[in-house]
Every structure is written in structure tokens, then in C-alpha cells.
């Protein structure tokens, strides 16, 4: 029998450098073997920066963890987070993307084509006039 339900067999595993708490395992030790991230729903999409990770689950929720010095995790503060934390201000999200440069930022698009952004905006990469580390709605995308 073929299982056509991707939610029933999805595990999220991670490996690598963890000095900025970016692996979501609740520790800061580097990992040289795959480790499953526990206590999260099945994940549809993963997007990473140099020091942060974003997970999009099948229900349209976004989870983030890692370095957050610029507010790029979208959690409303700028403290590092070492476990997956749901971004409460986002729901019905369909796509996520991250900026991986020295200035971290995060973008999400919901089912109404609204774009949300968080993190550094030093060069206008969030599409806003001024920097603000809080999660902000940049407006609708016109087709």
C-alpha cells in the first residue's frame, strides 16, 4: 500500500554548527550526526540563515529558532532561541524565505498574498522605510 499522506511520515532532522543555538535542539553543542527535532508538528518547508532556522508546518504555522539579535526570528524580541518556537503572529502561511547575509531577515507569504518581514532592514531588504525588528506586514502583492 502506498502512503499518500505526507504528514504521516515526516520527521525533521538537523546537523551542524550550533554556536548560535541554530539547531533547535535545546543546547549549544555542535552536532556531527543527524538529530531529530522533537515536539514539532510535521514540517512542509525549511529555510535557513547562517545562524537561524525557520520551519513551515502543514497547517501554515511558522516555527523559528537560532540567533535573534536583529529580531529576525519574528518573535517580538531579540533574544536567541534554542528550541523551535511558533511565531504566534503568523498563520495561514504558504511560503517562507530567509536572507542569509550578515544582516539576517525573514519573509513569509500568506494565502492572501500578504508579505510579512522581520529582522534587519539596513539596506531596505524588508521593503520598509525604517528598521524595526518586530514582525511587520509589508502589504499585498499585486499580481
What are the tens digits of pLDDT across the range 101-122?
656 788 899 999 988 888 877 7
How does residue 57 score in pLDDT terms, banded at 50, 70 and 90?
A: very high
| Mean pLDDT, all residues of the chain | 74
Dihedral sign computed on CA atoms, order 130, 132, 134, 135:
positive
What are the tens digits of pLDDT across the range 19-52?
666 655 566 666 566 667 778 888 889 888 778 8
Structure pTM?
0.75
| C-alpha to C-alpha distances, 21 to 75, 100, 134, nearest whole angstrom | 15, 16, 20
Amino acid at each position: 500500500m502506498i502512503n499518500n499522506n505526507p504528514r504521516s511520515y515526516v520527521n525533521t532532522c538537523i546537523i551542524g554548527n550550533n554556536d548560535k543555538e541554530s539547531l533547535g535542539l535545546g543546547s549549544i553543542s555542535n552536532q556531527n550526526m543527524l538529530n531529530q527535532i522533537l515536539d514539532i508538528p510535521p514540517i512542509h518547508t525549511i529555510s535557513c540563515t547562517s545562524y537561524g532556522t525557520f520551519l513551515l508546518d502543514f497547517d501554515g504555522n511558522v516555527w523559528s529558532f537560532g540567533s535573534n539579535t536583529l529580531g529576525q526570528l519574528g518573535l517580538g524580541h531579540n533574544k536567541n532561541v534554542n528550541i523551535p518556537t511558533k511565531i504566534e503572529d503568523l498563520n495561514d502561511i504558504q511560503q517562507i524565505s530567509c536572507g542569509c547575509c550578515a544582516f539576517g531577515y525573514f519573509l513569509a507569504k500568506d494565502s492572501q498574498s500578504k508579505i510579512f518581514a522581520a529582522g534587519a532592514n539596513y539596506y531596505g531588504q524588508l521593503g520598509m522605510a525604517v528598521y524595526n525588528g518586530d514582525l511587520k506586514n509589508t502589504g499585498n502583492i499585486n499580481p
